[in-house]
Chain A
Amino acid sequence: MDRLQVLLKHVSPRNGHLAGKHSMANEIASPTSDSDVVVVHGVRTPIGRAKRGVFKDIMPDELLSHVMVAILKATGLPASKLGDICVGNVLQPGAGALMARIAQINSGIPEAVPIYCVNRQCSSGLQACMNIAGGIRNGSYDIGLACGVESMSHRSKADPRSIGDISAGAFHQDATRDCLLPMGITSENVAEQFGVSREKQDAFALASHQKAARATRLHLFQEEIVPMQSSGMLVEEDEGIRPNTTLEKLAHIPPAFKENGTTTAGNSSQLSDGAAAVLLARRGTASALGLPILGVLRSFAVLGVPPAVMGIGPAYAIPAALKKCGLSMDDIDIFEVNEAFASQAVYCAEKLGIPPHKLNPNGGAIALGHPLGCTGTRQVVSLLHELRRRKSR
């Protein structure tokens, strides 16, 4: 009596409720198409402190290989299905093209799968995701892997050789000279130019540590962190978080870049080692292979800003990305904005009017660390796992 059962459900609301098994609840009210670019899964290593931390003796290819192996294992995807791999990296020579290929082959990914690297500074790892998404969208392939990796134990931004070979033309204009400014000075510029006080920066840094400490305590990173062996011990948690820091402690740290400045080691991101990986696919392919869908790429935008205040990029790129997909700030439940420095993160949040509870809910680079090439990929990983936990978008 099938019909009777269907009708009985109508008159017995308790039986009719679908709560819990409602598989569409997460699906956002937007058009879905087989050609959408979706994120299948994302993982990362714990983030270690550079030079004296848990991964000080680990090479970047080892970090990278660790997340490559982990994401393929977690999704059960045969490596031969990958159409391309893009790796974000900043400090390795040539953005680590050689290192990445070695990591790939050591991960058991067939030689026939190509790999390349990209450097867009702090957002290299994010750019890697968008490059793979672009390849899927233009039909070059249906599935690709985006990664980000950095070992700041082994390479330093401060190394003068990292500037490269530049002509005297670098000194012809203010803007080109500004390109050579140390990052910390650009942070001082942002703080000065836009009036972001030391107190605001320290309070922001404190919040980042508190949010990250809470997330670690509640094991919220369990789904994204793949524990890694290093020097005989298993590293499971991010190393840079200081759960016990206070405003007083932060206030005592001297300025790091400029006399009477406001940017300190406490309210800047940390030098770190880490890697992250994100598997992207065409929705139709993901469905056909039975892969889960963690998120959908709706829009992406990049914009340049004056080199002297380089950290304010998100304040310009976020509205541009929203405009492209016809969404407003209110439609967005969580913003991941990089915390290279508290100054630029505070400025971006204030300029855009991001409510504190929507911004980097589990901390950012100030607390977790900032392995340059890895961070953008790490943000996608952290963002999508948190969105899924909150059932928001």
Chain B
Amino acid sequence: MSEFHTEASHGYSVQFSPFLPQRLACVACQHYGIAGSGSLFILDISTHGLKQVTRRSWGDGLFDVAWSETSERLVLTASGDGRLQLWDVTQPGPPLQVYQGHEREVYSVHWSQTRGENLVASGSWDGSAKVWDISSSECLFTCRGHEAVVYSSMWSPHIPGCFATCSGDGTLRVWDIKNPSFARLVIPAHTSEVLSCDWCKYDEHLVLTGAVDCSVRGWDLRQARHHVFELRGHDYAIRRLKCSPFQRSVLATCSYDRSVRFWDFVQANPLVQTIEHHSEFVCGLDFNLHIQGQMADCAWDETVRVYQPACLAPAQAQ
């Protein structure tokens, strides 16, 4: 395991680069994100542990980070002052571009996952999600409908122009940019705030939600009246969940209970591993796309960790 100390900054989100197997980005905030500035850390995994490649700062807290899917140099951040920042990690100085439009904290940002698109979806505490064209720096659409703050916005890895959002109003909503004026699906997913959602990478109909009620639920969008499974085990709200890029039924969650848990929802005992290596709320979590079994997470204890949980070790050849 390698770790990195985000000095005086409390981790909010991590993401591995889709281009470079050893690179990851982390955003962290002063004063737990309640006040003060935010920092973007670009880190490389080396034989000597995690090394800082560069560090950028912004006047307000940075809550989420998303690598560009088109250039290994570009990374986007979402900030508490309602803006998005596009950074070139190879050039020092201020962001290349700042995108303004949200009226409150932007809590999520995600680069589209399907070919031929250069779109970004952001979710904000102003209750809306916005879709941006990064090349023209324009906000293309504002998606309204959520009745409370939006915590997460995730593009489908399968369906072009389709993304999911989840919110403090307890719903998961699915949007299609072909008709962004209303949600294609409104799923009353939990009776508590829903803090995180992600798409299964192997089933285009399956979306997972993680909520303040400590549960993860799986939703088949074709038949979304009832969840298809529910995973319980966390003792406090689930802050973020990510589906494995390698295994259909595997996911990871991190929580306000300071743990990171790994699940396999087809198993009779779906909770396969619990990792408690942080001393504060764990807010950021990601799978490395290039190295099977490698994870990164970050927490309010000012540490970023990269590790290989035993449960994700590739099966040994028989």
Task: Decide if A13 touches B239 in the complex (CB within 8 Å).
Answer: no
* Residues of B10-63 contacting chain A, CB below 8 A: 32-35
Given contacts A6-B149, A9-B212, contact A29 B188 (CB under 8 A): yes
A199 within 8 A of B: no
B224 within 8 A of A: yes
B263 within 8 A of A: no
Given contacts A10-B239, A11-B237, A13-B237, contact A25 B188 (CB under 8 A): yes
Task: Decide if B224 touches A16 in the complex (CB within 8 Å).
Answer: no
Task: Decide if B239 touches A29 in the complex (CB within 8 Å).
Answer: no
- Supply 20 A–B pairs (Cβ within 8 Å), ascending by A: A1-B34, A3-B105, A7-B34, A9-B168, A9-B193, A10-B193, A11-B281, A13-B192, A13-B212, A16-B237, A18-B193, A22-B170, A24-B169, A25-B191, A28-B225, A29-B185, A29-B186, A29-B187, A31-B185, A32-B182
For B174-186 the 0/1 string (1 means CB < 8 A from A) is 0000000111111
Task: Decide if A331 touches B225 in the complex (CB within 8 Å).
Answer: yes
Alpha-carbon separation in the docked complex, A13 to B256 (Å):
11
Task: Decide if B192 touches A23 in the complex (CB within 8 Å).
Answer: no
Q: What residues of B have a CB within 8 angstroms of the CB of A24 in the complex?
A: 147, 169-171, 186, 188
Residue of chain B at shortest CB distance from A25 = B188
Task: Decide if A10 touches B212 in the complex (CB within 8 Å).
Answer: yes
Alpha-carbon separation in the docked complex, A22 to B225 (Å):
16
Residue of chain B at shortest CB distance from A10 = B237
B262 within 8 A of A: no
Q: Name the prevailing secondary structure of the B interface residues.
A: loop
- List A residues at the B interface (Cβ < 8 Å): 1, 3-4, 6-7, 9-11, 13, 16-19, 22-25, 27-34, 331
Q: What residues of A have a CB within 8 angstroms of the CB of B191 in the complex?
A: 17-19, 22, 25
Give chain B's interface residue range (CB within 8 Å of chain A). Answer: 35 or more
B88 within 8 A of A: no
Q: What residues of A have a CB within 8 angstroms of the CB of B34 in the complex?
A: 1, 3-4, 7
Q: Name the prevailing secondary structure of the A interface residues.
A: loop
Alpha-carbon separation in the docked complex, A32 to B80 (Å):
31
Alpha-carbon separation in the docked complex, A9 to B193 (Å):
9
Q: What residues of B have a CB within 8 angstroms of the CB of A27 in the complex?
A: 186, 188
Q: What residues of A have a CB within 8 angstroms of the CB of B35 in the complex?
A: 3
For B88-104 the 0/1 string (1 means CB < 8 A from A) is 00000000000000000
Given contacts A6-B125, A19-B191, A34-B182, contact A11 B256 (CB under 8 A): yes
Alpha-carbon separation in the docked complex, A6 to B168 (Å):
9
The listed residue (A9, A32, A34) touching B186 by CB distance below 8 A is: A32
Residue of chain B at shortest CB distance from A33 = B182
Residue of chain A at shortest CB distance from B146 = A24
B226–chain A nearest beta-carbon distance, Å: 9
Q: What residues of B have a CB within 8 angstroms of the CB of A3 in the complex?
A: 33-35, 80, 105
B214 within 8 A of A: yes
* Residues of B146-190 contacting chain A, CB below 8 A: 147, 149, 168-171, 181-188
Q: What residues of A have a CB within 8 angstroms of the CB of B192 in the complex?
A: 13, 16-18
